């Protein structure tokens, strides 16, 4: 599906800031930014990514902050059938 189709189906842009510990230096925190179109309030794609991180990546998670923004709601979109041009 295209991004526009996802937005019309209720998806919004989710941005997560992931803080994790470096594998070799446990006292050092690093950050990773993740973005994808996801459904609120359950955020299945975000939680799927976090599970992937915990299973496959050596750097243990410290914390995750995220925001979600719906770009277009189905009630806000209308099909334009004509256009008037004024000089």
Residues 24-81 have pLDDT tens digits of: 998 999 999 999 999 988 999 999 999 999 999 999 999 999 999 887 755 666 677 7
Closest to 29 (Cα-Cα) out of 55, 65, 5, 2: 65
Q: Answer positive or negative: Cα dihedral of 7, 10, 12, 16.
A: negative
Residues 1-36 have pLDDT tens digits of: 888 888 888 889 999 999 999 999 989 999 999 999
Domain positions in the chain are 3-74
pTM of the model: 0.76
């Amino acid at each position: 599906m295209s991004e526009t189709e996802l937005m019309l189906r209720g998806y919004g842009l989710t941005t997560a800031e992931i803080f994790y510990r470096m594998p070799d230096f446990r006292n050092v925190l690093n950050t990773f930014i993740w973005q994808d179109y996801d459904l609120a309030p359950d955020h299945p794609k975000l939680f799927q990514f976090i599970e992937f991180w915990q299973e496959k990546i050596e750097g243990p998670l410290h914390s995750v902050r995220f925001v979600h923004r719906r770009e277009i709601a189905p009630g806000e979109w209308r099909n334009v059938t004509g256009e008037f041009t004024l000089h």
